[in-house]
Amino acid sequence: MVQTEAYVILSAVLFVLGVMGVLLKRNAILVYMSVELMLNAANLALVAFARQWNQMDGQMFVFFVMTVAAAEVAIGLALIVAIFRTKRSTNIDQLHQMEG
């Protein structure tokens, strides 16, 4: 059986990759994808600990996180579409001024 530590370290690596994507990517859609990557990394740690403690509650939290992620993606992409209408761009450097 693979140790829980291995799963948690893998989840930390994926999380850091997601953080770098959020910080370095200029395309708003890719920033969203990186956020999904971070959520997935957190989910992996939750499932690993659920098995470690033999409690299914951790897996239920993952279920809830997935549902919230689905809602967040729907709203986020709708925002990107709305902004793209006025700005003709998804580059977040061009969107950093909070003007309409």
Partner 1 sequence: MTMDVALFITVGVVAVAAAVMMLLSENAVHSALFLIINFMGVAFLYLMLDAPFLTMIQIAVYAGAIMVLFLFVIMLLGAEKLGEPTRQFRWLAPVSLALALAFLVITSIAIIQGRIDLQGPATQPPALRVVNALTDAGAVDVYLNGERVAPALPFGEATEYTVLPAAAVVAVDGAEADTGREYTLTINAAGTDTALMTSPLVLASRTDRQINAYTVVAHGTSSAPQASLVSDNLETTDNRAGRLTLFNAFERPVDLWNFRSETNPDDDVAVTTDLAPGSGVELAAIPENTDLRAWAFTEAGNKEAVLFRLNNPEVYRIRRDEAQLLVFAGEHIADGTEQGSIRPVALPVASRAAADFGGPHGAGELLFTRYMLPVQLLAVLLLVAMIGAIVLTHKETFQPRRRDVRRRVAQPLTTAISAQVGQDVLQPGEETPRLPPQEDEQPQPVGD
Contact characters 5-44, partner 1, x per CB under 8 A: xxxxxx-xxx-xxxxxx-xxxxx-xx-xxx-xx--x--xx
Residue 74 interacts with partner 1 (CB under 8 A): yes or no: yes
CB of 37 to partner 1, least distance (A): 6
Which amino acid is present at 24? L
Amino acid at 99: E
Least Cβ distance, residue 98 to partner 1 (angstroms): 15
Print burial letters for 26-60: b (CB count within 10 Å at least 16), e (below 16): eebeebbebbebbbbbbbbbbbbbbeeeeeeebee
Q: Which of 31, 82, 98, 99 binds partner 1 (CB under 8 A)?
A: 82
